[in-house]
């Protein structure tokens, strides 16, 4: 067992056809981390062992050190539904336990651009995670670290398949590129340096997700006094019955042509 190394696995589909789609945010995050940490994808030059391993595992790999920890960044090239086959081979090659395999992927049940860090849970309908649970050593009990990037639910009438295989709206993409991906890299660094539990609590509380597996609920928001006018608009004013009678009589007199009586009566 390699007691220091982590596998940081971003899930996605290979090929330009799937680039920048919702289903490929896992690839996007590990690409951002590789760039930020100066790690290079693929085995080049004299590193023939890495070239062979990439071919054997059917994955793109980037090796290096992040916050003092040996890491392997992984982008399985098996297509999403067979991601576990690639991860399994890498876990066995480096003898890395499931506790140090962080899976990064898109999540329908998390709001777009929001992150959730978890230490356990089901696949939630995600076929890549389903295959990891089925194939990878020890993962059948569904306890392994995962960082979910929210892509939201599809609009009514849109199939899930079409939703995840299309690109984000422009504003969402801007938020991902300028905030979410950078924050995700910081989360990964936090897991490596501070551990999963401590980082999970901090991340999920900040995101307002209830503290992940800790069961903490987000604090209720204080009433917004700026919206008090909205309440006033919904309240019908009470009218004094005597005034109502005078008004009705005045209207009747106006109709009858007796304007003077009307004015004096009011």
Mean pLDDT, consecutive 10-residue segments, the chain of 266 residues?
A: 83 97 98 96 75 95 95 97 98 96 97 96 96 98 98 94 95 97 98 96 70 33 34 37 51 45 36
What CA–CA distances, in Å, run from 225 to 61, 115, 219, 235?
Answer: 53, 30, 18, 16
- Helices 48-57, 83-94: crossing angle, 10 deg rounding: 140
Report the pLDDT value the prediction gives residue 220, as an integer from 0 to 100. 34
Residue with tokens 């890495």: 50
Report the pLDDT value the prediction gives residue 206, as an integer from 0 to 100. 74
Q: Residue 250 CB: number of other CB atoms within 10 A?
A: 18
CA separation for the pair 184, 187 (Å, rounded): 5
The answer for residues whose C-beta is within 8 angstroms of residue 26's C-beta and 6 or more apart is: 9, 10, 11, 12, 75, 103, 104, 105, 106, 128, 149
Give yes or no: 126 in active site.
no
Report the pLDDT value the prediction gives residue 211, as an integer from 0 to 100. 32
pTM comes to 0.76
146 alpha carbon, distance to own chain's centre: 11
pLDDT for 43-96, tens place per residue?
655 678 899 999 999 999 999 999 999 999 999 999 999 999 999 999 999 999
Report the pLDDT value the prediction gives residue 122, as an integer from 0 to 100. 95
Report the pLDDT value the prediction gives residue 207, as an integer from 0 to 100. 67
Q: Residue 115 CB: number of other CB atoms within 10 A?
A: 24
């Amino acid at each position: 067992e390699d007691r220091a190394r982590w596998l940081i696995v971003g899930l996605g589909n290979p090929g330009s056809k799937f680039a920048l789609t919702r289903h490929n945010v896992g690839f996007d995050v590990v690409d951002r981390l590789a760039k930020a940490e100066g790690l290079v994808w693929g085995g080049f030059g004299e590193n023939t062992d890495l070239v062979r391993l990439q071919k054997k595992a059917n994955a793109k790999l980037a090796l290096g050190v992040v916050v003092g920890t040996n890491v392997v960044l992984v982008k399985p090239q098996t297509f999403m539904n067979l991601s576990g086959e690639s991860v399994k081979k890498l876990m066995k090659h480096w003898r890395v336990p499931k506790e140090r395999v962080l899976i990064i992927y898109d999540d329908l049940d998390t709001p777009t651009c929001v992150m959730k860090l978890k230490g356990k849970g089901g696949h939630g309908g995600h076929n890549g995670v389903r295959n990891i649970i089925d194939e990878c050593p020890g993962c059948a009990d569904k306890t392994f670290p995962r960082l979910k990037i929210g892509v939201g639910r599809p609009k009514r009438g849109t199939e899930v398949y079409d939703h995840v295989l299309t690109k984000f709206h422009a504003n969402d993409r801007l938020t991902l590129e300028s905030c979410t991906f950078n924050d995700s890299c910081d989360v990964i660094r936090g897991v490596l340096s501070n551990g999963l539990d401590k980082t999970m609590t901090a991340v999920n509380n900040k995101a307002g997700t209830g503290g992940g597996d800790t069961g903490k609920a987000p604090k209720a928001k204080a009433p917004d006094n700026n919206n008090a006018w909205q309440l006033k608009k919904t309240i019908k004013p009470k009218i004094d019955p005597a005034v109502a009678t005078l008004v009705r009589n005045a209207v009747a007199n106006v109709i009858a042509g007796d304007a003077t009586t009307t004015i004096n009566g009011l």
